[in-house]
Amino acid sequence: MNLLKEAKFQLSQINKLNGYLNAFVNLYKKSYIFEKLDESYKRYSQGQLLSPLDGRLVAIKDNICTKDSYTTCSSYILKEAGAIIVGKTNLDEFAIGTSTINDLFGPTLNPMDLKVPRSSGGSSGGSAAAVSADISLGTDTGGSVRHPASYCNCFGFKPSYGLISRWGVVTYSNSFDTVGILGKTVERIRETFNILNVYDPKDPTSLSINERLKIKQYDKNKQITIGIPLDFNISKVSQNLRDIWKKAIKHLELKGFNTKIRHHQI
């Protein structure tokens, strides 16, 4: 594992592609990033890494407040775990939208096609397009993490309401907003979630310690049924996506879950 070599490559990719993609609206100084990388590498050499994310580069959606360039709220927890914040990512204005287009910074483009300008999705399009970082934090109200992740060929995870602190997040819809995680691998997202999944007294919507204990005590042997809305299988979906959708359902069934396809009655 060579954190410095890997990070230098990632930063070079960010600097190389950001002029076109416009994923980052603010990049932190290289001197700060390499100072933190050096600290992480020393801990690695001594076998004292703070967490699986120690020395990993993280991008933060620009509706998560910062103070003096050091990110607070849920991303502060990542910083304490040794993760290195590299910058703030673009979004739809006030996180209201699905295209990551705004008048101040302009649109974020899709990294999957560097020849033809295409949408990165939204509203966390900057976080999804920032594929050169290990992990990005976004916010999700009605799909703002999952939607751009599907556009940009990465994984997007929206945790259950109240699991990750929203302290410092500019609210769009208080009863729906969650901090979500985007990454290149499910493993990295899991590692990040395990760090962020803690009670925060500064966030009134954060699940209490008692509620979290109840969740942990839930019978893991109980058969879980996953509902599959029939409405998702619409005629406009391409055959390629339809095949992937069916493959995902089959994968869940092979893992031991029950699945039920239902039609939502209005």
Kindly list the catalytic residues. Answer: 61, 123, 144
Which two three-digit tokens encode residue 239? 């055959």
The 3-state DSSP class for residue 61 equals strand
**Residues 74/64, Cβ–Cβ less than 8 Å:** yes
φ and ψ at residue 7, rounded to 5 degrees:
-65, -40
**Residues 170/73, Cβ–Cβ less than 8 Å:** no
In 3D space, the residue among 56, 204, 25, 40 whose CA is nearest the CA of residue 127 turns out to be 25
- In sequence order, which ranges of the chain are alpha helices (DSSP H)? 3-21, 30-45, 73-80, 125-129, 146-151, 186-196, 209-216, 239-254
Cα separation, 12 vs 1, in Å, equals 18
φ and ψ at residue 150, rounded to 5 degrees:
-70, -30
In 3D space, the residue among 19, 120, 6 whose CA is nearest the CA of residue 56 turns out to be 6
Which two three-digit tokens encode residue 259? 């699945």
In 3D space, the residue among 168, 186, 170, 179 whose CA is nearest the CA of residue 144 turns out to be 179
In 3D space, the residue among 196, 63, 193 whose CA is nearest the CA of residue 124 turns out to be 63
Q: Specify the DSSP class assigned to residue 48.
A: -
